[in-house]
Amino acid sequence: MGNIISINDVKKIYVMGSEKIYAVNGISLDIKQGEICCLLGKSGSGKSTLLNLISGLEKPSKGQIVFKGKHIETMDEIQLASFRQQYIGFVFQQYNLLPTLTAAENVALPLIFKKIPPKERMERAMDMLKAVGLEDRAGHKPNQMSGGQQQRVSIARAFINNPEVVFADEPTGNLDTKTTYEMMDLILDLSEKNNQTIIMVTHDLEISGYADRIIHLHDGKIDNIEDNKNKILKGSFREV
Ligand code: ADP
Ligand code: MG
């Protein structure tokens, strides 16, 4: 399969007073369409910064990022926003749901920007809530749901547009072990249906076991790239 993303000698340098921080320090990487790719490294190794660069949330200080044949490092904010809406879904550690909206309204949110009429938005949101096993919580606000339920809502929101790539930054960082496995199963299950590419960030070796490929990061650089031969399969977690 072809590459959906190619990054070439990318750097992100933060200037703090007289100090320069090389958060990402010369990374080149190709990501294949449909692969589950994990960025693994200790806190501060540059995982989130790299994810934010690849997904167009931040601009690189140097280097090129080609996403579906387009150079995103040269895009302006308006072009980037529309590019993200078209191709990308996000799952965050803190869920990032809007507190005043219901589960269904949160899930439907990305469709507003696509100018899809309200009735269809709600139908599609309900379908997604069903897919993540939350159809009976559609009217609940985020603070009326558990962490695992909130992350299900955010996963439903990430996938509702059928994006080509879903980015997940420590998606299970706030969840217990059982819920963690449920979330990973869910992400794999949804992505398998449409051969979506998943790029996830974790500091947890166990979670990286779900990936096809593990990119080990250290001090803003790639330490090594591992083809994961012992990939964890869906539904592997059993309570003992
Ligand atoms: P990780 O996600 O692996 O924990 P980050 O990508 O968040 O690592 O951070 C990598 C390095 O860059 C860290 O040393 C961090 O302190 C620094 N850093 C990240 N974001 C900023 C910022 N906005 N300004 C200054 N330094 C930053
Ligand atoms: Mg991080």
DSSP string for 176-231: -HHHHHHHHHHHHHHHHHTT-EEEEEES-HHHHTT-SEEEEEETTEEEEEEE-TTP
* Sign (positive or negative) of CA dihedral 109, 36, 222, 179: positive
Q: Does the C-beta of 21 come closer than 6 Å to ligand 1? A: yes
Determine the pLDDT at residue 102: 98
CA distance 144 to 66: 41
3-state helix, strand, coil in the chain (%, to 5): 35, 30, 35
> What is the model's pLDDT at position 237?
73
Query: In a mutational test of the pocket of ligand 1, which residue from 15, 19, 21, 201 has the highest number of ligand atoms less than 8 Å from its CB?
Result: 21
Average pLDDT per block of 10 residues along the chain, 240 residues long: 93 96 98 97 98 97 97 96 94 96 97 92 96 96 96 97 96 92 93 94 94 98 96 76
Looking only at the bridges linking them, the beta strands covering 197-202 and 36-40 are: parallel
Looking at residue 239, its pLDDT comes to: 64
pLDDT of residue 204: 94
Quickly tell me which residue has 């992100």 as its tokens: 12
Q: What is the pLDDT of residue 138?
A: 97
Q: In this predicted structure, what is the pLDDT of residue 238? A: 66
For ligand 1, atom 10: residue with the closest CA: 46
- Looking at residue 174, its pLDDT comes to 92
> To which H or E segment does residue 40 belong?
strand 36-40
Cα(55)–Cα(165) distance, integer angstroms: 9
Specify the residue for token string 């059982």: 178
Closest ligand by atom to 92 CA: 2
Q: Are 110 and 132 in contact (CB under 8 A)?
A: no
User: How far, in Å, is the centroid of ligand 2 from the Cα of 172?
Assistant: 12
Kindly give the number of the ligand 1 atom that is closest to the alpha carbon of 50.
6
| Ligand found nearest the CA of 43 | 1
Q: How far apart are CA 188 and CA 34, in angstroms?
A: 11
Report which DSSP code applies to 141.
-
How many C-beta neighbours within 10 Å does residue 73 have? 20
Please report which ligand is nearest the Cα atom of 45.
1
Q: Is the CB of 47 under 6 A from ligand 1?
A: yes
